[in-house]
Structure 1
Amino acid sequence: MTLEQIKEIVSTLDNVAFQLEDGTFVPEHFHITEIGVVTKHFIDCGGTIRNDKVINFQLWNANDVEHRLKSAKLLNIIELSEEKLGIEDAEVEVEYQSETIGKYDLDFNGKNFILKNKQTACLAGDSCGIPVEKQKVKLSALNDTCCTPNSGCC
């Protein structure tokens, strides 16, 4: 989800709520303590040099349980970050503390923002040497008329 998409959604909400994919909610007294741009310049295992840039939101829980982030406040924080940091529209990732700092993609289910689990992956699959997983097929699911005499399959 991009920053522009988030701004469009937030402008229609009274309160902002985040939920993990397992249904657990981020406590409603969370703070967005940082908005920034994270740039990653790296080389993959196949030797390709890559650049990645995301906008990062950091969610944090404090002991001020009366705190609630209203949509107008979040829009103000976003606008300030755009102005002061020169942030342009890009994908947003969210940092949130669990056992360690987790990074999440973001989605919206019509009511709440959903923190979607991120997964690592090999970006150089064609040169990395990892075998492609073979598709498993149940023989009973195959049409047993395909290899009858005169069917043209053999």
Structure 2
Amino acid sequence: MKIFEMKQALAGLQTVSFRLPSGEYLPAHFHVTEVGLVSKHFIDCGGVERRETVANFQLWEAGDYDHQLAPQKFLHILKLSEKILGSEDLDIEVEYQQATIGKFGLAFDGTDFVLTQKQTACLAQDACGVAPAQLVALPQLQMAACAPGSGCC
């Protein structure tokens, strides 16, 4: 999800809720403690220099059970962060404290913001000897042939 997409989603909401990949919701009293610009300049294992920049939101919960972030307040925080973020076309990465700080992508399902799992990957598989995943061709199944007792299911 990009900054401009989040602003559009927030404009139509009455409440802000975030859901973890497990389906569990963050407590309603969460805080947005940081909105920042994170730039990563690195070399992959194949020797290619790369750069990555994302908007980073840090979500946190405390004992302030009376606090609930309204969409208008979140939009205000985003407005304040424009001088840091610059572009509304940045992807959003979310940090949330679990056993350690978890990093998530972000999606919106029309009602809730959904923290999505992020995965590591080798960016230079061809250069470092990692075999690309082999695709396995599945036989074409015909619905008419897939009847009880036909052996296809």
TM-score, L = length of structure 1: 0.86
Structure 2 partner of 1:146: none
- Provide structure 2 residue ranges, at least 5 long, that are not aligned to the other structure: 142-153
Alignment of 1:2-151 (within 5 A): 2-83=2-83, 85-89=84-88, 90-137=90-137, 141=139
| Structure 1 stretches of 4+ moved >6 Å | none
CA positional deviation for 1:86: 4.9
- Provide structure 1 residue ranges, at least 5 long, that are not aligned to the other structure: 144-154
Q: 1:107 to 1:86 in 2, by over 3 A?
A: closer
CA positional deviation for 1:66: 1.0
CA positional deviation for 1:134: 2.3
**Per-residue Cα deviation, 1:40-96 (whole angstroms, up to 9, x for no partner):** 00000000000100000000001001110000000000000103x252120000000
Distance in structure 2 (CA, Å) of the matches to 1:76 and 1:136 = 50
CA positional deviation for 1:133: 2.6
Distance in structure 1 (CA, Å) of the matches to 2:66 and 2:3 = 27
Find the residue that maps to 1:94 and give its secondary structure.
strand
Name the amino acid aligned to 1:88: S
Find the residue that maps to 1:9 and give its secondary structure.
helix
CA positional deviation for 1:125: 1.5
Q: 1:101 to 1:134 in 2, by over 3 A?
A: same
Instruction: Give the conservation status (yes or no) of the 8 Å contact 2:104–2:115.
Output: yes
Distance in structure 2 (CA, Å) of the matches to 1:26 and 1:97 = 11
Find the residue that maps to 1:132 and give its secondary structure.
coil
Distance in structure 2 (CA, Å) of the matches to 1:53 and 1:142 = 42
**Per-residue Cα deviation, 1:83-127 (whole angstroms, up to 9, x for no partner):** 3x2521200000001110000000011100000010000111121
CA positional deviation for 1:14: 1.3
Structure with higher Rg: it is: 1
CA positional deviation for 1:128: 1.6
TM-score, L = length of structure 2: 0.87
Distance in structure 2 (CA, Å) of the matches to 1:20 and 1:36 = 21
Distance in structure 1 (CA, Å) of the matches to 2:113 and 2:42 = 30
Structure 1 partner of 2:149: none
Distance in structure 1 (CA, Å) of the matches to 2:70 and 2:91 = 22
